Amino acid sequence: MQSPVIVLNTSKQRETGHRAQMSNIAAGKTVADVVRTCLGPRAMLKMLLDPMGGITLTNDGFAILRECEVAHPAAKSMIELSRTQDDEVGDGTTSVIILAGEMLAISAPFLERKIHPVVILRAFQKALDDAQTILREIAVPVDTNDREKMLGLIKSAIGTKFVSRWNDLMCNLALTAVQTVVRRTADFESADTEAQAPNTTSTAAAGASASAADASDKATADTAAAGSVADAADTQMPANAETAAVSSATTAASDAANPAAPDVDVREIDIKRFVRVEKVPGGEIEESRVLDGVMINKDVVHPKMRRHIENPRIILLDCPLEYKKGESQTNIEITRESDWTRVLEIEEEQIRTMCEKIAALKPDLVITEKGVSDLAQHYLVKENITALRRMRKTDNNRIARATGATIVSSVDELKEQDVGTSCGLFSVDKIGDEYFSFLTKCKNPKACTILLRGPGKDTLNEIDRNLQDAMCVARNVLFSPYLCPGGGATEMALSVQLAQRAKSDIDGIEQWPYAGVAEAMEVIPRTLIQNGGGNAIRTLTELRAKHAAGQTTWGVDGEKGVPADMNDYGVWEPLAVKLQTIKTAIDSASLLLRVDDIVSGTSKKSE
C-alpha cells in the first residue's frame, strides 16, 4: 500500500470544505452581534479598556471593532469592512457590519442544502445590481445651499450618537467647517490666475498691479470658465457630479440667475488635512466653536515679541533660523585667540544675514518648522518681528491655506508674493494651563480649526469621533446631493422590491439566495425596532404592507420602535453612504463564502 504524501505541516490547524465555510459564517455573525446593540438613537455604549489602561467609551462601530483583538481570520476581515466604510464615507460603520453578518447568516441554509457557493454568489451579485438601481430610484435630490435642510440631514446622522444632546451646536460646527474648506472650480481657476500674475506683471509693481490683474481676471472669467473646466476635469470628482460641474461652469450666467439649483460644482473637500479639531479639556461643551482661521498650541519664542497683531504679514519657513552645522563631524584647530573670535563672528554674521533677508520683506510674524536660535530671536525682536518655531508640517500647511502664504524652504528664496496677508488678527491667549496662538479673521480661509471644550478627555474623544461622522455626511452630500429615507426605510424598500423581483424575474436555484438577500435587508429595521423596545414581528409586518403599497418613505421611529413616515419624522441619509454600505456588505460576504480552506499559522499545541 502506498504511503500518504504529506504536503502541509500536520501540526498546523486546518479546516476544509463545508466546515471552513460554516466557521467563517459563525465568526461573521459573532462580530455582527458585538455591535448590534449600537444601532439607532437608543444605542447602547461600549466601554473598552486598552492594554495601556486607557478607556474608550463609544457606540461607533469602527471605534469598537478597532479596539477588539480577534484571532479568527474571517472576523479580522469583517473588522476591515468597518475601516473601509469609515475611510470611504465616514458613516454607516455599524450598519455595514450588521448587514454583512446577516448576509453570511442567510447563506448557511443554502450551503446546508448543498447549493454551490458560486450559484449563491451569482444571485448575490444580481441582487446587488438591482439594489443599486432601486436605491437611485428612491433617492431624492437636495439643495446643498439650503442650510436648514443640510442641518436636518446632519442631525439625523448624529442623532444616534453620544452628542445628540447638543445636536444644534454640533451640526452647526460640522456644516460650517465643511463649507469653509470646500473648493470649487472657481477657486482652482483663481489660484491658477494668481500663479500666472507674476509672469505677466513687472516685479517692481507687483503689489500695485495685483488688484488690476484680479479685476481683469474676473471680467474674463465667464469666457474662460468653459475651456478651463473641460481641461481641468479630473478623476477626483464622482461620476454623477462631474457632468453637472462642467455644465454649471459653462453656463455661469444662468447659475447666477438661478442660485437655488443643487450645487454640485465641488472639486475638493479635504477634511483630514484642513479641518483640525483641537480638544481642550475644561469649560462647557457650549463654548465649542469653529474658528475662521487656524489655532496652534504654541507660544511666541521670546517674551518681548508682540502677542496681538492686526492684519499681520506672515512668512512661513521650512528651514532653521540657526547656524548651519556641518553634515559630518568637523574639527578645527585654532592657535590664535583672534581666529576663535572670527569663528564666532562668522556664526553671528550668518544668522544676522538670514534675519536681514527676512526683515527686508517687513513681516510681522515668522513661523518656521525648525528651530530659532537665541541670537536669531534677538535680531527678530530688534526688527519687531514675532516668531513661532517647531511648527508641525500639517499645521504649517493649514496656515498656508488660510493666510495665503507660501511655505519657503530657504530665506534666500523669499519673495513678496510668498508673504501671507489674508489673516485679520494674530493673538496669543491662555486656555486652561496652556498658551494657544490664534490666526483668525481670515479672508476666505479654506482651512479651519474646531475648538472643542468639554468636561474630560474621554468625553472630548467621543465628541470628536461623532463630529468626524457629521463632517463626512456633509462632505458626501456636497459631492453627491441625493438623499434616501433613513430609519430603515431604504432597507425595507429594498427588501420588498427585491422579494417581488425574485418571484417575477429570477428563475431556477438562484431564486432562493436572491430572495435571501431581500430577507437579509430587513435586519436593519428589525434591529432598530429591537433596540427601541418595540414588537419586531408586528412592526415589520406593518412596514411590509406600507412598502408593498408603494410608500417607500416609511421606516422605524428609533426612539419608540414603531413605524413612522420619514418625510414627517425628518430622518434622511446620503445616497453615497447607502450605496457604499450595501456594496461593501454583499462583496465581503461573497468573499468569505468563496473560502473553502483555512490553514492557520498557529500550531494545534498552542490552542
What are the grid coordinates assigned to 219, written together?
471680467
CB proximity list for 419: less than 8 A, separation 6 or greater: 313, 314, 315, 361, 363, 405
- What is the H or E stretch that residue 253 is in? helix 252-257
Per residue, the 3-state secondary structure of 489-540, as one string, reads HHHHHHHHHHHHHHHHCCCHHHHHHHHHHHHHHCHHHHHHHHHCCCCHHHHH
> Residue 518: phi, psi to the nearest 5?
-60, -40
- d(C-alpha 430, C-alpha 299), whole Å: 9
pLDDT of residue 199: 45
Q: Tell which residue, 1, 44, 24, has the closest CA to residue 527.
A: 44
Task: Name the residue with cell 532653521.
Answer: 320
| Rounded Cα–Cα distance for residues 329 and 334 (Å) | 16
Location of C-alpha cell 564666532: 344
Tell me the mean pLDDT per 10 residues along the chain, length 607: 57 71 87 88 83 80 82 84 83 88 90 88 91 90 85 79 81 90 75 55 39 39 36 38 35 34 66 90 89 91 92 92 76 85 88 92 92 92 93 92 91 91 92 90 90 87 86 86 88 91 85 90 90 87 89 85 84 88 90 77 52
**Helix or strand run (H / E) with residue 159:** none
Q: How far apart (Å, rounded) are the C-alpha atoms in residues 253 and 233?
A: 20
User: Would you tell me the crossing angle of helices 93-112 and 117-138 to the nearest 10 degrees?
Assistant: 140
The residue length of the chain stands at: 607
> How far is 331 from 137, CA to CA, in rounded Å?
77
Q: How many other CB atoms are there within 10 angstroms of residue 335's CB atom?
A: 7
CA distance 502 to 262: 36
DSSP H or E stretch at residue 290: strand 289-291
Cell of 88: 470611504
Q: What DSSP string runs through 31-79? A: HHHHHGGGSSTTPPPEEEE-TTS-EEEE--HHHHHHH-----HHHHHHH
* 473: helix, strand or coil: helix
Distance (Å, whole) CA 106 – CA 515: 10
Closest CA to 469 of 154, 45, 48: 154
Q: Please, which residues bridge with residue 30 across strands?
A: none
SS3 280: strand
567-to-163, 551, 557, 563, 604 alpha-carbon distances in Å: 24, 11, 12, 12, 57
Cα(56)–Cα(459) distance, integer angstroms: 9
Cβ atoms of 79 and 567 within 8 Å: the answer is no
pLDDT of residue 192: 63
Q: How far is CA 578 from the centre of its chain?
A: 17
d(CA 490, CA 496): 10
CA distances (Å), 563 to each of 221, 483, 519, in order?
52, 20, 18
The three-class DSSP label of residue 265 is coil
pLDDT the model gives residue 603: 55
Please give the pLDDT value at position 13: 66
Secondary structure string (H, E, C) spanning 456-467: CHHHHHHHHHHH
- Cell 474658528, located at residue: 291
Spatial CA neighbour of 486 closest among 475, 499, 501, 473: 473
- pLDDT for 602 equals 58
pLDDT for position 450: 93
Query: What single-letter DSSP state applies at residue 559?
Result: T
Tell me how far apart the alpha carbons of residues 108 and 18 are, in angstroms, rounded to a whole number: 10
Nearest to 382 by CA among 405, 407, 416, 351: 351
Q: Determine the Cα–Cα distance for residues 406 and 242; give it in Å rounded to an integer.
A: 30
CA-based diameter of the chain, in Å? 101
Residue with cell 429591537: 530
Q: Are the C-beta atoms of 475 and 469 separated by less than 8 Å?
A: no
d(CA 500, CA 205): 73
CA distance 93 to 468: 13
In 330-423, where do the E strands start and end?
365-368, 386-388, 407-408
pTM: 0.73
